[in-house]
Structure 1
Amino acid sequence: MRVNVMRPIFKPEGISNPDFVLYPYHIFHLRLFYKRLGRSDRVFDYFAYVDLYRLGAERGDGFIDLYEWEVEEKKVMEPLVDYEEARMKAFESAITWGNSRVVSWWLPRIEIIREARAYKVFWIFERDGEKLIMDSLDGKEFKLDSLVGKDGRKCKGPFCR
């Protein structure tokens, strides 16, 4: 299947072909239009990265570079959040951020400028006999056993729900 992947920044050193799993996000470029009494209106651009597994939203500095990858379906995590929930989370996050920057009697009008379903790459590899997973955007490494314990219930990492 073909999917959009966020451009990996980090990759495990010394590992020629690490395995990976793709984690689902929906990225929104939003424009907020605020009306103000007695003052000029304000316009802000906001970039929301909505986690489609845990329904969290992060503010971005821009729309990250996306690459199209051809991957096996089993490498792609299924989203647990639908489009409408993701869109509402992005709007909520944008309004909270915008309201901290401008005083207005009204909620902003919001336009979606650009949007895309995209996946973050998590590299899976082995080093010194230990299985590890690495976040391709921040380079953080986690022991695979600490994410999903041997009993199947322990969970401390980015895939926990």
Structure 2
Amino acid sequence: MENDMETVSLIKTGFDLKDREVVCYPYLIVTFKIHLPRLFMTPRIAYTVVTTDMVKGAAARSNMFPETVEIGIQGTSIIPELIEEEEALKNARKTALRWIMYKFHSFRAPRIEVIQRQKAYKAFFHADIKGRTVLVDSVKGLEQDDIR
């Protein structure tokens, strides 16, 4: 069997992932700078980070652009992307536009530019908790309901 190692950007985690079987889930993370025009004033500038799921295509606002680390991982541990990067960017842009129109009650079209863009992966792994095997999200950790 071939050792098909790939290098990916993994979202930094507090968990020790050594000697664990991890599965990497793909995301596109984008920072937008939004120029919102205002009558007789300089444009309002707003920033937002949007994370798009590269499997389902769902986009959601994030609270920050995460730090990543480069790791080598087997290709079989990476969940394949089902949507193209450009479609994920389009979904992220729509989410940013919806947010800016809601937040500032604007009816004028803003100018949206991409400041930072990176494809990153989130790691998931199994752990034994109280005699049960649970799937752990390496960024969020375990929810209280998962432990019961």
Note whether the superposition's TM-score is higher than 0.5: yes
Q: Superposed, which structure 2 residues align to 1:45-84 within 5 Å?
A: 45-84=47-86
What does residue 31 of structure 1 align with? Answer: 33
**Structure with greater strand percent:** 2
CA offset digits 1:123-151 (Å, max 9, x no partner): 123456543210111112698xxxxxxxx
Task: Confirm or deny: 8 A CA contact 1:47 1:62 kept in the other structure.
Answer: yes
Shift of the 62–127 alpha-carbon distance from structure 1 to 2, 3 Å rule, reads closer
Q: From the superposition, tell whether residues 118 and 69 of structure 1 become closer, same or farther in structure 2 (CA, over 3 Å).
A: same
Equivalent position to 1:124, from 111, 114, 126 = 126
CA RMSD after TM alignment: 2.2
Seen in structure 2, the aligned counterparts of structure 1 residues 38 and 105 have a Cα distance that, compared at 3 Å, is: farther
Once the two structures are superposed, the pairs formed by residues 93-132 of structure 1 within 5 Å of their partners are 93-127=95-129, 130-132=132-134
Number of corresponding residues: 140
The worse-fitting range, judged by mean Cα deviation, of 25-34 and 103-112 is 103-112
Whether 2:8 is the aligned partner of 1:6: answer no
What per-residue deviation string (whole Å, max 9, x for no partner) do you get for residues 19-63 of structure 1? Answer: 110001000011111111233311111101111112111211221
Task: Give the share of equivalent positions with the same residue, in percent.
Answer: 26
CA deviation after TM superposition for structure 1 residue 85, in Å: 1.3
Gapped regions of structure 1 (runs ≥ 5): 144-161
The DSSP-based 3-state class of the residue aligned with 1:71 is strand
Are the equivalent residues in 1 in contact too, given 2:101–2:107 (CA < 8 A)?
A: no
Spell out, residue by residue over 1:67-89, the C-alpha distance to the aligned partner (whole angstroms, 9 max, x if none): 00011100110011111210111
Give me the TM-score of the superposition, normalised by structure 2: 0.84
Distance 2:12 2:125 in 1: 13
Gaps of 5+ in 2: 1-5
Where does residue 3 of structure 2 map in the other structure?
none
The alpha-carbon distance between structure 1 residues 101 and 40, as it changes in their structure 2 partners (threshold 3 A), is farther
Name the amino acid aligned to 1:3: V
Contact 1:31 1:44 in 2 (8 A): yes
Equivalent residue of 1:95, what SS? helix
Inter-CA distance 69–20: structure 2 relative to 1 (3 Å threshold): same
1:159 is matched with which residue?
none
